[in-house]
A and B are shown apart, each in its own frame.
Chain A
Amino acid sequence: MSSAERVVFEHVTKRYPGTGAGNPGAVEDLSLEVPAGKVCVLVGPSGCGKTTSLKMINRLIEPTSGRILIGDRDIAQQDVIALRRGIGYVIQQVGLFPHQTVADNVATVPRLLGWDEGRRKDRATELLELVGLDPTRYANRYPSALSGGERQRVGVARALAADPPVLLMDEPFGAVDPIVRERLQNELLNLQEQLAKTILFVTHDIDEAIKMGDLVAVMQVGGHLAQFGTPDEILANPASDFVARFVGADRGLKRLALTRVDALELMPPVTASSGDDAADARRRALADPFPYLLLVDAERRPIGWVDQDDIPSSGTIGEDLATAMSPLFSRRTTLKDALAMLIEAEVHAGIVVDGKGAAMGLLTADMIFASSRDGRSPEARAGA
């Protein structure tokens, strides 16, 4: 498996004949570096130059000035055919060859590279499995016999065929319905965990950009790079009014969707089990700022809440004391989902449980709000 390589734009400008800067598709002095193995999403409104920028990497479009490096090599110095064979390319319309079977489509670049038939066949089988298409069912079909989602998977398999270090994707999931899109996005993220390619991904959908990108480049009409950073940085500190408007008024919520429960330091609950000494439990509960005692079973699985004032001063704790319950979160629940569940249940705190259902700690709405304040610059906070 070849390793991924970085992609670097150095003052890249593309102007179209007879026009100045600011025309649709033009790119103005773009400089950015995508480290090897990262996903960089180019996002922006129509005509912002994001697709132009992508196509300059495989030289479908030649820049007017500036240079682009893959690894340390200037792509303008390389043979354009060899360059393209080393870069995977996926587009919205997929562009599968209608006169070739799925297997032949997948093996396009290996064939161009002169691999023998057996090796091509093996590679096609391997890739179809990788993208979740059963080779015995799909290898000999023609593209017209596939659904939109299946075609898109074949398109990804084809782009990966010669194991390129860099993958370019131009709105790859733009033509499929939202449910399939979400599934394909998740599959690509899983695939990327195994493959760790350098991926440049173009979309006009900010939610997709935030979900898919390790880095997000927000572009503005005229081909200006408005902001380049991690999704969290862009949501927390939009560099301009344009970026703030583009990411949307709900950017706080979007940011919550980026963080998972396990990223926060949870509040340890005061717990007791059925049969414990009530006086001791009451003393512990009253000493804790959180006014409830969590009743758990022998495996520390939550049973329900007991108001600290309702705990008897003598005797033992019984399960009948529990009067209320909270939503349960897994460690992988996003803060956005957690907040939504708290709102739905009309409570302030939820219980985070591990894989066996045992309570790990509490997550309160206040903790979620506090986390969304972190990372914002003072100016942004003052302006909010």
Chain B
Amino acid sequence: MIAAVTWFSDPAHWSGQNGVPYRLFQHVGISLVSVLIAMAIALPLGLYIGHTRRGQAFAVNLANVGRAIPSLAAIAIVVPFTQALDPGPGFNLYPTVIAMIVLAIPPILVNTYAGVSGVDADLVESARAMGMTERQVLTRVEVPVAIPIIVGGIRSASVQVIATATLGAIYGLGALGGFIVEGVAQNDDGQLFAGVLLVALLALLAEGGLALVQRRLAAPIAARAT
């Protein structure tokens, strides 16, 4: 731990392409992009399956496959397919990002589908009986009621993605994992611990922040007597 403090206090580690700010930015950036892309795919699919109850088996199977694949394996699997896409040797952005998207889709998809299909059937029938169109049933009733569960899915996906982004360093993606990989390689405990701390902190921050959002969104639904 002291080694990590010493490492943090060296100003050389706070600048340049291998410095903390840049790698933190890199880590957050690719995590964010991955989660956003996963959301763009999983949210509409989950809403569709949840609302229409079509393709439930597909959603469940996909989720199980997603959970069964270890993060590292996911990256390894996509490496040969994506190397061609990478702009140059040593720039291994795509395998990690694609692996992160693949890993982030199941939790978002499953929670969205489960949240929407779990909305009380009487509520949905009431909405329909009052003359809401299917789109209105979804946007005005199902999504608002299910939103805490949907955000819960995004939350677990985010934490998983932040962890996976660390592994990307093995394939040459810098980010915060770089400190860990380099720390191990160079027998530099300070750098290793610093990297671990940064990743843990970021994961906790994302977890805590989204948990807060989740709580705020659930508040009116759980509201008790005023």
Tell me, in angstroms, the Cα distance from A94 to B221 when the chains sit together: 16
Tell me, in angstroms, the Cα distance from A60 to B130 when the chains sit together: 10
Tell me, in angstroms, the Cα distance from A145 to B127 when the chains sit together: 21
**A46 at interface, CB cutoff 8 A:** no
Tell me, in angstroms, the Cα distance from A49 to B220 when the chains sit together: 37
The answer to whether A85 touches B131, judged by C-beta atoms less than 8 angstroms apart, is yes
The answer to whether B221 touches A89, judged by C-beta atoms less than 8 angstroms apart, is no
**A108 at interface, CB cutoff 8 A:** yes
Tell me, in angstroms, the Cα distance from A95 to B128 when the chains sit together: 11
**Residue of A60, A81, A97 touching B141 (CB-CB under 8 A):** A97
Q: Which of B32-40, B65-73, B118-126, B191-199 contacts A (4 or more CB under 8 A)?
A: B118-126
The answer to whether A109 touches B131, judged by C-beta atoms less than 8 angstroms apart, is yes
The answer to whether B130 touches A112, judged by C-beta atoms less than 8 angstroms apart, is yes
Closest Cβ of chain B: how far from A60's Cβ, in Å? 6
**A376 at interface, CB cutoff 8 A:** no
Closest Cβ of chain B: how far from A248's Cβ, in Å? 30
The answer to whether A99 touches B129, judged by C-beta atoms less than 8 angstroms apart, is no
Residues of A86-104 whose CB lies within 8 A of B: 86-87, 89, 91, 93-100
**B224 at interface, CB cutoff 8 A:** yes
The answer to whether A99 touches B133, judged by C-beta atoms less than 8 angstroms apart, is no
**Residue of A98, A99, A108 touching B130 (CB-CB under 8 A):** A108
Tell me, in angstroms, the Cα distance from A192 to B111 when the chains sit together: 45
**A313 at interface, CB cutoff 8 A:** no
**A84 at interface, CB cutoff 8 A:** yes
A65 contacts across to B, CB distance below 8 A: none
B144 contacts across to A, CB distance below 8 A: 97, 99
Q: How many A-B contacts if CB must be within 8 Å?
A: 72
State the interface size on chain A (CB cutoff 8 A): 29
The answer to whether A145 touches B130, judged by C-beta atoms less than 8 angstroms apart, is no
Chain A, residues 46-72, CB within 8 Å of chain B (1/0): the string is 000000000000101000000000000
Tell me, in angstroms, the Cα distance from A142 to B218 when the chains sit together: 12
The answer to whether B224 touches A98, judged by C-beta atoms less than 8 angstroms apart, is no
A158 contacts across to B, CB distance below 8 A: 130
Chain B, residues 182-226, CB within 8 Å of chain A (1/0): the string is 000000000000000000000000000000000000001111111
The answer to whether A95 touches B223, judged by C-beta atoms less than 8 angstroms apart, is no
A142 contacts across to B, CB distance below 8 A: 220-221, 223
B223 contacts across to A, CB distance below 8 A: 142, 144-145
**Residue of A81, A98, A99, A144 touching B131 (CB-CB under 8 A):** A81
The answer to whether A58 touches B133, judged by C-beta atoms less than 8 angstroms apart, is no
Tell me, in angstroms, the Cα distance from A85 to B127 when the chains sit together: 10
Residues of B116-152 whose CB lies within 8 A of A: 120, 122-123, 125-133, 136, 140-141, 144-145
Closest Cβ of chain A: how far from B115's Cβ, in Å? 13
**Residue of B122, B130, B132, B220 touching A93 (CB-CB under 8 A):** B122
Tell me, in angstroms, the Cα distance from A136 to B193 when the chains sit together: 59
Tell me, in angstroms, the Cα distance from A86 to B131 when the chains sit together: 8
Closest Cβ of chain B: how far from A94's Cβ, in Å? 8
**Residue of B120, B132, B226 touching A145 (CB-CB under 8 A):** B226
Tell me, in angstroms, the Cα distance from A223 to B199 when the chains sit together: 65
The answer to whether B129 touches A58, judged by C-beta atoms less than 8 angstroms apart, is yes
The answer to whether A91 touches B125, judged by C-beta atoms less than 8 angstroms apart, is yes
Tell me, in angstroms, the Cα distance from A93 to B226 when the chains sit together: 23
Q: Provided the pairs A112-B132, A141-B226 are in contact, do residues A95 and B221 lie with their beta carbons within 8 angstroms?
A: no
Residues of A11-64 whose CB lies within 8 A of B: 58, 60
Closest Cβ of chain B: how far from A113's Cβ, in Å? 8
Tell me, in angstroms, the Cα distance from A89 to B127 when the chains sit together: 10
Q: Provided the pairs A84-B131, A108-B130 are in contact, do residues A99 and B222 lie with their beta carbons within 8 angstroms?
A: no
Tell me, in angstroms, the Cα distance from A18 to B204 when the chains sit together: 55
The answer to whether A98 touches B226, judged by C-beta atoms less than 8 angstroms apart, is no
**A298 at interface, CB cutoff 8 A:** no
Instruction: Pick the most buried of A91, A141, A142: most chain B CB atoms within 10 A of its CB.
Output: A142
Tell me, in angstroms, the Cα distance from A326 to B122 when the chains sit together: 52
The answer to whether B131 touches A112, judged by C-beta atoms less than 8 angstroms apart, is yes
A89 contacts across to B, CB distance below 8 A: 126, 129-130
Closest Cβ of chain B: how far from A25's Cβ, in Å? 15
Instruction: Pick the most buried of A97, A99, A112, A145: most chain B CB atoms within 10 A of its CB.
Output: A99
Tell me, in angstroms, the Cα distance from A141 to B140 when the chains sit together: 18
**A82 at interface, CB cutoff 8 A:** yes
Closest Cβ of chain A: how far from B17's Cβ, in Å? 47
8 closest Cβ pairs, A-B complex? A95-B126, A85-B131, A84-B131, A89-B129, A93-B122, A142-B223, A99-B144, A145-B225
Can you list 18 A-B contacts (CB < 8 A)? A58-B129, A84-B128, A85-B131, A87-B129, A93-B122, A94-B122, A95-B120, A95-B122, A95-B123, A95-B126, A95-B127, A99-B221, A100-B220, A108-B130, A141-B225, A141-B226, A142-B223, A144-B221
Footprint of A on B, CB under 8 Å? 120, 122-123, 125-133, 136, 140-141, 144-145, 220-226
